[in-house]
Amino acid sequence: MTTLKIGTRASALAMTQSETVAAWLRADTGADVELVPISTEGDRNSGEVSDFGGEGVFVAALRDALIRGEIDIAVHSLKDLPTTPDPRLVIAAIPTRVDARDCLVARDGLTLGELPQGARIGTGSSRREAQLNALGLGVEVVPIRGNVDTRVGKVASGEYDGVILARAGLLRLGRADEATEVLDPLQMLPAPGQGALACECRADDDATIRLLDGLDDIDTRVAVAAERSLLATLEAGCSAPVGALAEVASGDDGDELWLRAMVGDRSGSPTIRLSATGLPSEATAVGERLAAEMLAEGADTLVAVASSTPGR
């Protein structure tokens, strides 16, 4: 049997995520699977993402290796994938999403509301920065890059009072108990696609597409389709503070799709927050419609300002 090669970033989190896909393939299909760590521009550069390439810096090297035939599958954090499709590639599976919410890891077990004014909160995300500032808690938002150990370590050392992380990452690493607060989406909407994985392969590789079919979760695919449709319609790159969360829920007349989104300024004001509902089969249209409503409220100006603002 030919060995399936799965390309992955080399971080502990990325390797853990990719191993879950490999384990499923071994158990469900009997495939022989090997992980292939690949270094990306986002891993090599410690600066702010928007300053050295922006969208796609964490996935481009994996996708190039996939196109060259050096790997058979690339496993990405879906939030890192550009919204513009590459016709040579296909997202063959989006596994069931892990908790999409953000969480706080703070000193002394504190929550956001318990941190004193002037507390230093680390994040490398303009989306998180905008929403933290919009809460009006008087905290100081400071930039941070690095893996989970690096970020949490800055809290343990006393350099920062807290950091904001994706809860999905802590869950996958078995470190969920380190979070001192899970943030309600009413306070902090996640990045579009956060908590979901994308298993990408070559569009002409029918055999691998068939192998991955059983790993696909339709509700997750529907939700992230709405979120990414909104992001694409807003024409917002990685430097724009855009949050979105879609969920499929049971309604009186069957399943419904509910999409919430925000576009803001890093300072916290102004912020546009809107929501929309629709049928799961219309996920892309729901995202486009909500984005159009946000654009009518001035989201295009906020996106333009964010795109022209240098990273800190």
Q: How many Cα neighbours within 13 Å face the side chain of 103?
A: 22
- d(C-alpha 271, C-alpha 266), whole Å: 9
Structural domains of the chain, ranges and CATH numbers in brackets: 3-95+196-216 (3.40.190.10), 102-182 (3.40.190.10), 223-307 (3.30.160.40)
CB 97 within 8 A of CB 227: no
Percent of the chain residues topping a pLDDT of 90: 85
User: pLDDT at residue 52 above 80?
Assistant: no
Who contacts 277 (Cβ-Cβ below 8 Å, separation ≥6)? 256, 257, 258, 259, 286
The count of residues in the chain is 312
Cα 165 to Cα 23, 191, 201, 209, 227: the distances in Å are 26, 11, 28, 32, 19
pLDDT tens profile 216-257? 999 999 999 999 999 999 987 666 799 999 999 988 888 999
pLDDT of residue 49: 46
pLDDT of residue 53: 45
The more confidently predicted of residues 235 and 285 is 285
Q: Give mean pLDDT, residues 280-290.
A: 98
User: pLDDT at residue 307 above 50?
Assistant: yes
Q: Give mean pLDDT, residues 282-311.
A: 89
pLDDT of residue 214: 95
Q: Give mean pLDDT, residues 99-119.
A: 97
The 10 Å CB-count burial string (b at 16+, else e) for 170-200 is bebbebeeebbbebebeebbbbbbbbbbbbb
pTM of full prediction above 0.85: yes
Q: Which residues are catalytic?
A: 79-80, 127-128, 145, 151, 238
Who contacts 177 (Cβ-Cβ below 8 Å, separation ≥6)? none
pLDDT tens profile 64-80? 999 999 999 999 999 99
Selection from 150, 154, 128, 152 nearest residue 141 by Cα: 128
pLDDT of residue 309: 65
Edge to edge, the sheet with strand 120-122 lists 140-142, 120-122, 162-166, 102-106, 181-182
- d(C-alpha 152, C-alpha 154), whole Å: 5
34: burial class by Cβ within 10 Å (0-12, 13-18, 19+)? Answer: exposed
The widest CA-to-CA distance across the chain, in whole angstroms, is 60
The more confidently predicted of residues 290 and 48 is 290
What mean pLDDT is reported for the chain? 92
Who contacts 34 (Cβ-Cβ below 8 Å, separation ≥6)? 3, 4, 5, 6, 22
pLDDT of residue 56: 76
Cα 48 to Cα 36, 283, 311: the distances in Å are 26, 32, 6
pLDDT tens profile 153-199? 999 999 999 999 999 999 999 999 999 999 999 999 999 999 999 99
Q: Give mean pLDDT, residues 84-95.
A: 96
